[in-house]
Structure 1
């Protein structure tokens, strides 16, 4: 087992070498600069020193020469590492400093392990300035200046790259925000379009398309939870005559007034739709046939009290004809329920209008469990 001293002012570089050599069974020491390394080396007498060239206080070249000043450290081998150096001058200087090997960063792990093992096997003392020419502090300073210039250039380039990355990151974040805002606006527009597609333009009530969707969903819910479901098919009596006599503006005013009254008359869970022309549908979850018919009768009575004025003239009182249908064990489709309500409405018109009637076949069918309902 040998003692190896690793010297670098960057902890990450020291950690790299320590991790690489830890499994080889050596005693590993570390220092953050040349001065600290020299003190540790005098005390611990390492077999090998692996040092960075450019370090604060005492660089790698100077450390290698200073180690040779101590007789007990003449057999200590030195490996220098650097990310940027003038190769010709640097290699000449390492020979003068008695350095075993110069490695370029980033170091290949296999190469490092191979060079370390060779250095540890070396038994000859280090020879400083083998060519007989001493290396002056001025020479070391020239190389150090060049190294610092290159490092400064690398730091400048790194800073410029980091600024570009930050600028691009801000630009990408801005693009992401803009896309998110655009997507939110698009989603909101789609929701508005969706809502508009389900609304009647004149009355603001849900339209027939919405009715088909909601009725299908409510039928499925009623079947799943075994609860009643009823609907009212409402027709404004003699609407065509009113429209022909007072004009289309009066007819539109009547439709809007009736729609407002219908919205106010029913519960929040009920769905009020304009079915087409002067016909409306009210979908009433959890409501039995009889309860639905009672609601229809109360609606007719209240509707007669509605007073509609168009351009200063009072329009005739509004009366309603209403067909009532409920879901049964054999009537579980949108078409079946609407057809049943339409048949009941037809009988009301045949009987003189201004009435509410249940579908004639509901009593002969097995009804689902009843639930009470009332107008709001």
Structure 2
């Protein structure tokens, strides 16, 4: 069992300078940005090489020796190396920023934006090829009471633990996301109605068996309600499918909470 202890979850810091440069790279494009950066490195290498020759020649003229041109200084290689390091750092920063843009900062699962993008592609694939697909909408029971009684930090920790418990029951192909507030949503590719209900029950049981509140000696004080709906061949849009899951979730709440409800997917808008 997992007690809801105090904790905080925050994304790792990214240099503000790298963020600014990454935004510039995103705006102008990686290819153009690379050309600009390499061009700047070449200009910098020429300036530094000229300065080296001037300083070296001046310092040795008193001895009658002009050997600046004979001193090979790999300034261009040095600048090119730093440019390559900068490009690699920018690429890593951009990838990290893209990851953060798709991730819920509190729970670490995907966010609503990411879910809708992935689900839209999966919906198109499933409808085009007549493949099964389902969504499960999840709501934390009595979440406001948890916040009011134990504080928002405990409520946040409850969301983190619920996400962890649900994620642990899912398959690699499934996508769990925080949909907003105390709601989560799961995309189940290649999944019909019966299997969707079975997976929803696994998530419900995992949360009920694993989470407890600070003043509760046993788990079971934190529960979830779930609405599971599978795609039908006549379901017109992804939004209609999610609305059906929301209605099934509402029925689960109205029937006493801590349960899974389902209903046929609508066949028209």
TM-score where L is the length of structure 1: 0.49
Task: Identify the residue that residue 250 of structure 1 maps to in structure 2.
Answer: 154
For residues 224 and 306 of structure 1, do their structure 2 counterparts lie closer, same or farther at Cα, with a shift above 3 Å needed? same
Give the gaps of 5 or more residues in structure 1: 1-158, 367-376
CA contact (8 A) 1:323 1:343 kept: yes
Aligned-residue offset at 1:312:
9.3
1:347 and 1:309 map into 2 onto residues whose CA distance is 26
Q: Secondary structure at the match of 2:156?
A: helix
Q: Is the aligned partner of 1:199 residue 2:131?
A: no
After superposition, what is the alpha-carbon deviation per residue over 1:46-86, rounded to whole angstroms, capped at 9, x for unaligned?
Answer: xxxxxxxxxxxxxxxxxxxxxxxxxxxxxxxxxxxxxxxxx
Q: Is the aligned partner of 1:264 residue 2:173?
A: no
For this pair of structures, how many residues does the alignment match? 202
CA contact (8 A) 1:320 1:353 kept: yes
Aligned-residue offset at 1:346:
1.5
Task: Identify the residue that residue 89 of structure 2 maps to in structure 1.
Answer: 185
1:333 and 1:177 map into 2 onto residues whose CA distance is 51
Aligned-residue offset at 1:302:
2.9
Task: Identify the residue that residue 92 of structure 1 maps to in structure 2.
Answer: none
After superposition, what is the alpha-carbon deviation per residue over 1:136-162, rounded to whole angstroms, capped at 9, x for unaligned?
Answer: xxxxxxxxxxxxxxxxxxxxxxx976x
Aligned-residue offset at 1:176:
2.0
TM-score where L is the length of structure 2: 0.67
Matches within 5 A, 1:207-246: 207-246=111-150
- CA RMSD in angstroms comes to 2.5
Point out the structure with max Rg over C-alpha: 1
CA contact (8 A) 1:232 1:296 kept: yes
For residues 305 and 268 of structure 1, do their structure 2 counterparts lie closer, same or farther at Cα, with a shift above 3 Å needed? same
Equivalent of 2:205 in 273, 294, 301:
301
For residues 334 and 175 of structure 1, do their structure 2 counterparts lie closer, same or farther at Cα, with a shift above 3 Å needed? farther
Aligned-residue offset at 1:276:
0.9
Task: Identify the residue that residue 347 of structure 1 maps to in structure 2.
Answer: 251
CA contact (8 A) 2:227 2:245 kept: yes
Aligned-residue offset at 1:318:
2.0
For residues 309 and 345 of structure 1, do their structure 2 counterparts lie closer, same or farther at Cα, with a shift above 3 Å needed? closer
Q: Larger relative contact order (C-alpha < 8 A, sep ≥ 6)?
A: 2
2:84 and 2:191 map into 1 onto residues whose CA distance is 44
Aligned-residue offset at 1:307:
3.0
2:161 and 2:68 map into 1 onto residues whose CA distance is 70
Q: Is the aligned partner of 1:337 residue 2:241?
A: yes
Aligned-residue offset at 1:351:
2.0
- Between Structure 1 and Structure 2, the one with more helix by share is 2
CA contact (8 A) 1:300 1:354 kept: yes
Task: Identify the residue that residue 225 of structure 2 maps to in structure 1.
Answer: 321
Aligned-residue offset at 1:294:
1.9
Aligned-residue offset at 1:315:
7.2
1:316 and 1:301 map into 2 onto residues whose CA distance is 9
Q: Secondary structure at the match of 1:305?
A: helix
Matches within 5 A, 1:3-18: none
Deviating above 6 A after TM superposition, structure 1's stretches of 4 or more consecutive aligned residues are 311-315
